[in-house]
Chain A
């Protein structure tokens, strides 16, 4: 079956819609968790957009809010304790946060799908992979059990799992880590969604398998012209596949840039710190740089710039004023499209 035929089977094909804006637009999103220790502000005003066929990499340490943002987009946050006090998540111009739950469920999995980090725990241990893959077709398209299984085999072939027909009735624990992650990818891909969110899809895999899985993901994305949000803390993974990068810290985006510009000229001290802490062959024998301190406790985010206690360039203003995401320009004022930095001293950081 070719891609063309497949697309024709899916209701509401992409082409006949008048909608011209970005595929996904997150506007001023806030997420907080009400815990016994107080209110943890996990996401504090995140904005980003993803277009069809575009890959946005969201970079940050654990607790920077990158996964929480993704879960808010998917609508799988546990609420309570989670709460979204403010913000909009527009999918094709429609705010998903104000949508009734049953309408949102139709988007979930079908239009926007997610790939999780640990495929072993993310797959149900007592159901066969064929069942779990076929479930997408049965729940969303009302397909029969038999047809769904055939589709599952097709999907497994698609993500290049060897002997798909024989293995469709196997359980997740019977697959290797890389194969399991392929199954996760196949599941997300099942209904050819417009957007895929991959939350650290390769973190649990060993390095050789990482590359294979990333290549597969990138290839499928190109083929289906999907938008992709790639959440990771691994700068190496990002460089090859992403179009643009958003760096998050303490629930805010601190820097945005097209991928290669970020590597060559970071405009935020945090990004610079991240880049400097990558081990490099040409600096063998020297001590590896590390950002001092720890990420802030989200129930007590420092005043001003959240990064100021760890920042080597911090001044007085950094402890009082929250820096906005400034558009970043060349020294002579020429626009650098897509670039922004939430640092009071972005000029010094990029040009200085």
Chain B
């Protein structure tokens, strides 16, 4: 197990280097003049242009610039944002907790409600509750998240006044609606996955054995069926947590949550290469670590899987 984890951690290195280089190269390939972007229509003073060009090694070829970036990254230096000249590590430190808050709400929401709805639907296949779950999850999956976000913002926020409309001024409460919106699509997928998994496991031979042992229905579902059914669900949940923690560009933008997604959006808009690369690097690291956690969890849930 220890050796497996060590090997996986080592494997992460080339993945992180490869992805960051790719993002770095793509941002460079976008072309344009990042210094000019800072000044919009106004002319850039020559002295400042020269200073910025030197600071960001804008004249050097791509591999060398990437080398500079990587050297900084190893020392924990994500570089400095082009706009506002803030250290990107500082921007991440500000943005990530915001993202984690809505990610936490979204995750709790999809896990509790999604699994519960899916399990109940799977147990009562073809009945009213099952059809209700199937129909409502299909609806949620079919609606794009920006529509879902804006509609709920208008109706629940502006018109009904139940939730804060935008921003983060009201503490936990400000994150609630964005979190629910963010979690809703994954919730739909999780409910469907759990439903299918429960329904499949109910037909398994070991369930017949459990019945023949004279076990109570609650014991059969609660212990025998659930443990087996949740294996694919946990895998999905883990992967989803990885992407949730990487920020939600659309949702954070709609509700003005200054998280990772929001910063990514802004960086793309003003072609702030260093910030973009910095945030994407964070995203990659989070995702790769979560993938490892999921794989380890898989072995915990399913004894047939062993890592050596």
Contacts and interface: CB of A to CB of B under 8 A. Distances in A.
Contacts of A105: 214-216
A173 B302 CA distance: 11
B208 A116 contact: yes
B213 A171 contact: no
Nearest to B204: A121
Contacts of B224: 124, 127
B228 interface: yes
B211 A108 contact: yes
Contacts of B231: 126
A121 B206 contact: yes
Contacts of B208: 76, 116, 122
Contact of B212 (A109, A124, A171): A109
A139 B216 contact: yes
B210 A108 contact: no
Interface in A100-117: 105-110, 113-114, 116
B219 A123 contact: no
A309 to B, nearest CB: 33
Interface in B255-304: 301-304
Contacts of A75: 211
B206 A125 contact: yes
Contacts of B227: 124, 126-127
A108 B212 CA distance: 6
Counting chain A CB atoms within 10 Å of each CB, the highest count among B209, B215, B301 belongs to: B209
Nearest to B224: A124
A306 to B, nearest CB: 27
Contacts of B210: 124
A74 interface: yes
Nearest to B201: A124
Contacts of B209: 114, 116, 122-124, 187
Interface-central residue, A110, A121, A124, by most chain B CB under 10 Å: A124
Contacts of A114: 209, 212
A139 B205 contact: no
A135 B213 contact: yes
Contacts of B211: 74-76, 108
Contacts of A187: 209, 213
A24 interface: no
Contact of A113 (B205, B212, B223): B212
Contacts of B216: 105, 139
Interface string B181-216: 000000000000000000000001110111111111
Contacts of B228: 124-126
Interface string A149-190: 000000000000000000000010100000000000001000
B294 to A, nearest CB: 17
B213 A116 contact: no
A230 B214 CA distance: 20
A140 interface: yes
Contact of A116 (B205, B215, B302): B205
Interface string A117-135: 0100111111110000001
Given A116-B209, A118-B205, A126 B214 contact: no
A305 interface: no
B206 A124 contact: yes
A245 interface: no
Contacts of A140: 214
A54 B216 CA distance: 30
A136 interface: yes
B227 to A, nearest CB: 5
Contacts of A136: 213
Contacts of A135: 213, 215, 219
A75 B301 CA distance: 31
A171 B214 contact: no
B304 A171 contact: yes
Nearest to A113: B212
A127 B219 CA distance: 13
Contacts of A122: 205-206, 208-209
Given A139-B219, A171-B304, A107 B206 contact: no
A126 B219 contact: no
Nearest to A184: B209
A109 B206 contact: no
Contacts of B206: 121-125
Contacts of B219: 135, 139
User: 8 nearest interchain CB pairs?
Assistant: A109-B214, A108-B214, A121-B205, A109-B213, A124-B206, A171-B303, A114-B212, A76-B211
Interface of A: 74-76, 105-110, 113-114, 116, 118, 121-128, 135-136, 139-140, 171, 173, 187
Interface of B: 204-206, 208-216, 219, 223-224, 227-228, 231, 301-304
21 contacts: A74-B211, A76-B211, A105-B215, A108-B211, A108-B213, A109-B213, A110-B214, A116-B208, A118-B205, A123-B206, A125-B304, A126-B231, A126-B301, A126-B302, A126-B303, A127-B224, A128-B303, A139-B219, A171-B303, A173-B303, A187-B213
Given A108-B212, A118-B205, A124-B228, 5 more contacts: A105-B214, A109-B213, A121-B205, A125-B302, A173-B304
